[in-house]
Each structure stands twice: as structure tokens, then as C-alpha cells.
Structure 1
């Protein structure tokens, strides 16, 4: 399983979008050179453009903790906090599924899910949904992570599609309805901002 850092950034002033994106892209270039960094995906919410979400995958929690302790990270964080509010959700990757066609996929959805009951049943249902979605035209990739402590019963799913229509079609699947029966779902349709989708060992696949 891969350690996954999920950060939600909300602009304090929507006019600062360009400044934030420039700082963020500089930051992730530095992060990519850190030991243990695997990949990341940053998106901007389509319906709330003041909101950004970044998922970062690391080999071990210790690798990310070492980055947090560095002076460079602290300097970057100080700059960010001037222009955005940050919600951090350290998580553990549970599943990664790539479509046969591969590629980046510019239509993305981030699902924030909250499970009040059987977590194993939910994970099984989400795996069944992702497997069914992978058969649809336009599917690129899917990732599922479980919150470690910030969101009790919380999961985050990232799905990548070649079009928004493909993502909408997936939500009509019976397997998606089964997921929605087991979890409260908040879906954030989003657009690609930055990310390398570097290969790494599948977690729990």
C-alpha cells in the first residue's frame, strides 16, 4: 500500500489563483525530487474554481515526514498559507486500477466518501464499481485511499476519464449505486492542473 497525502486548498481570494498555481507548480517540482516520492495528481474543481485538490503518493509515511521537517517545505508552506486555507488528510492507498488505453485523462472526479458501517463491504463495493467502470469507453484510471485519522470512516477516490460524459455514464452503473448505498458521497468534478502519473506498485490490487 502507498502512503497518500490528500490536500484541499481553498483560495482566500479567488483573484489569487494565478499566484497560487505558480507557487504550487514550483513546489511540486521540488517535491518530485524528494526520496520516496512516487507520483501526484493536482486538480481544480470545476464547480468551485477557488478549490484545488492534490493527491500525492509516497513509498512510506517516513519519507513524507522527512519532507515536512525540511526548511524548504516550511518556507513553501508559509507562502501557501498566505493565500489558501489548507485541509490535510493523510491516507493509505487501497487500490489502483489503470485502463488498457492508459494516458492522463483530462476529465477527473474526486469523490469524498464517508462510511458509517462495514468498511470492508464498502471497499469491496468500490472495487466492483471500479472494475465495471474500467470496461467503459473513456476510462483511464482509478485510485482509492482511506483516511488514517483526519476523517473517521473517510475515503477519497480519484477517477480519470477522457471525457465528462464517460464519468457521467459510470455513475449510472448499478455498481456505483451499490457504493452510494454504503457511503455518503461528495463528488468534485475537476480539471487536470498538474501530475505525472508515474508508475508505482499497485496497492491491494
Structure 2
């Protein structure tokens, strides 16, 4: 990457779990439009396996300005109005810290989303270093797909990571690494296992560095 990508992380919680199909249909239509907008790089939408009423979407943009332009458009506002009839939305704007591209996950991919809160505001640099060591070690494991790690812009000491794995066993093996224990020594973590719903993050992994 030539510059940190602006990462839009949205959590969608269905107001009525029975409306999942309607929401997914609206969301996929919205994504098709988003992919045509200047500055859009990629996205990955997932659905929590433990709380199926919860979806998360990661969107990667060239810059905050590109996203702001889209956000102000009439089309986006119309889509947002439709979404808010079906879901509650929590936004977590962030900047990419680390991105690691692997091969196709295969199998029935599992996406592990982790929200971190650094225990000490002075420890952010150490935490980022520890997470980088963990992510690089995890990427060498069998079953690794790709991972992204971003720093929250509105949550002091907040970070979010998302990693794609071939299956739950592969993801669990990563969490047993000693480097992961070093990460947890510096930050509290909330972990969500999820299933992919839609996205072109795999295509994004093929983009050469510097593009």
C-alpha cells in the first residue's frame, strides 16, 4: 500500500431477524452501486455465526474524501434510509495498519473479527508491533486466507482485525500461537466468528503493492 486505506467498518443488527433475506438483498444491490464509485477498493460482508442477526461489513477506500463524497450523494442517502428500516447501524471509521494477502481459503471459509481495546494509551505502538508479529506468524499457518488490521479513528486505543481462514480449526490454531498471547497481554479482545456473505476482498488481494 502506498498510503493507509480508509476503512469503513459497519455493524448491522437486524431489528427483526426474520428480515434477513430482505436486508441481504438490499445490501447486495447497494454494494453493486458502491463498487462503481471513485475510490472504492474492496469490501467484505460477514454474518455472525453465534448471533445471526448481526452482520459486519468492511469497506476499503482510497481516502476519507472519496467516501465522504459518496456518503453525501442522493443515492447513498436513499439506500441508508432503506437500511435503517431494517437494521440498526454502528459505524467505526478506521485506517489500515496492516494487510496480509494469502491464498484462497477454500473449504467453508470462516472470518474471525476481533475488536481490541489497548489497555494503556501509551502502549499503542507496542500493541501494533505485537499484532504485526502475530499476524505474520498466523499467515504461515495452513488454512490462512488473508487478514486486515485497522486503527479506529473515533475510539481511542481501539483496533479491529479481520482474518479469513479455511475453517474454524485453522482459525483456532492461530489463536493458540504464543504471539497471540503476547497480543492479549496488551489489549482486551472481543472475538466474533462469522461466515462470509459477500465481498471482493479476495480479488483485492491480487492488487499489486503500491496500487
- TM-score, shorter chain, exceeding 0.5: yes
Distance apart, 1:18 and its partner CA: 0.5
Structure 2 residue 72 is the aligned partner of structure 1 residue 69: yes
CA distance in 1, matches of 2:158, 2:150: 9
Tell me, yes or no, if the aligned pair for 1:3 and 1:58 is still in contact at 8 Å.
Answer: yes
Q: Could you give the per-residue CA deviations for residues 106-159 of structure 1, whole angstroms, max 9, x where no partner exists?
A: 21100011113210100100000011101111011111000001x221100000
**Pair 81,202 (structure 1): closer, same or farther in 2 beyond 3 Å:** farther
Q: Provide the residue aligned with 2:139 in structure 1.
A: 134
What is the SS of the residue equivalent to 2:185? helix
- Residue of structure 1 in register with 2:95 after alignment: 92
CA shift, 1:94, in A, is: 0.6
The answer to whether the 8 A contact 2:48-2:193 is kept is yes
Cα RMSD of the aligned pairs, angstroms, is 1.4
Moved over 2 A (4+): 101-105, 199-203
Tell me if structure 2 keeps the 8 A contact 1:95–1:202.
no
Assess if the C-alpha contact under 8 Å between 1:96 and 1:202 holds in 2.
Answer: no
Which runs of 5 or more structure 2 residues have no equivalent in the other structure? none
- Aligned counterpart, 2:24: 21
Q: How does 1:91-130 map to 2 (within 5 A)?
A: 91-99=94-102, 101-102=103-104, 106-117=109-120, 118-130=123-135
In the alignment, which residue of structure 1 is the partner of 2:169?
165
What is the DSSP-based 3-state SS (H/G/I as helix, E as strand, rest coil) of the residue aligned with 1:57? strand
- Name structure 1 gaps, 5 residues minimum: none
- Contact kept, 8 Å, 2:105 with 2:164, in 1: the verdict is no
Q: State whether structure 2 residue 195 is matched by structure 1 residue 187.
A: no
1:153 pairs with one of 151, 157, 173? 157
Superposition deviation, residue 202 in structure 1 = 5.5
Q: Secondary structure at the match of 1:47?
A: coil
SS state at 1:140 partner: strand
Q: How many residues align?
A: 201
CA deviation string 1:4-48 (max 9, x = no partner): 000000001101100000000000000000000000000000100
Query: Could you say which residue in structure 2 is the equivalent of 1:79?
Result: 82
TM-score, normalised with respect to structure 2: 0.92
Native 8 Å contact 1:95 1:145 kept in 2: yes
Using structure 1 for the length normalisation, give the TM-score.
0.95
